[in-house]
Amino acid sequence: MKTDYQVQSFYFWLVLGVLFSINVLIWATPLYVENIHEWFSSWPKQLFSTICHQQVDRSYRIQGIPLAVCVRCTGFFAGVLLSFLCFSVFKGFVSSEKSKNIRIFLYTMLVLMMDWVANLFQLWQTPEHIRMLTGFSWGGAAGICLVFALLKKK
């Protein structure tokens, strides 16, 4: 992408605010609740229950209290935020071709889905950090697509 493109600042700050809040909420949940009993009935857990299975043994824990989402979703949301921030600054790396960005998104999604299904059918058990990485890479691709969406010619 050439330098004659710019990120639309209104949407940039709006999206950044939403992504940042989601990440803070995910990581702050263990600090917000005092014990595992409280975690199950906490509002951050309820909030994310629509989009994540929140299985406690598949979530990062801080002092025994799980984050609001599983390892993979934690990676996904961190990936979207970091990639959105990075590629907004280094927008020269984002392709101006629609199909290229969609392909990156679909490939990383495919990797995640394959690992997801393999874990589901017990073909293999992916270690925690690899699960996080599959989420992170898909989130990273989503972040690139977001920057692509917000770019406009100067």
Partner 1 sequence: MMESEKSMLKPVLMTGLIFGFVLFLVGILAGYYIISKEPTGRFFMVTFLTVGPTCLIALFISFFAVKSYVKENGPEMTLGKGAIIGLSAAAIAAAVSVVFMFIWPMIDSSYLENYYSALIAETEITTALPPEMREPMIDAYYEEMRSSNSITSFLSNLVSSVFMLSLLNAITGLIAAKIFGTRPVETL
Residues engaged in binding partner 1 (CB under 8 A): 8, 11, 15, 18-19, 22, 35-37, 39-41, 43, 46-58, 98, 102, 116, 119-120, 122, 142, 145-146, 148-150, 152
Task: In whole angstroms, give the CA distance from residue 21 to residue 127.
Answer: 28
Compute the least distance from the CB of residue 140 to partner 1, in Å. Answer: 14
Compute the least distance from the CB of residue 152 to partner 1, in Å. Answer: 7
Compute the least distance from the CB of residue 90 to partner 1, in Å. Answer: 19
- 35/89 with CB nearer partner 1: 35
Burial of 60-79, coded b for 16+ CB within 10 Å and e otherwise, reads: beeeebbbbbbbbbbbbbbb
Task: Tell me how far CA of residue 52 lies from CA of 14, 26, 100, 153, in angstroms.
Answer: 23, 12, 28, 37
Report the 10 Å Cβ neighbour count for 123. 10
- 86/119 with CB nearer partner 1: 119
Compute the least distance from the CB of residue 64 to partner 1, in Å. Answer: 8
Q: Where are the beta strands (DSSP E) in 3-142?
A: 5-7, 61-62, 65-66
- 31/51 with CB nearer partner 1: 51
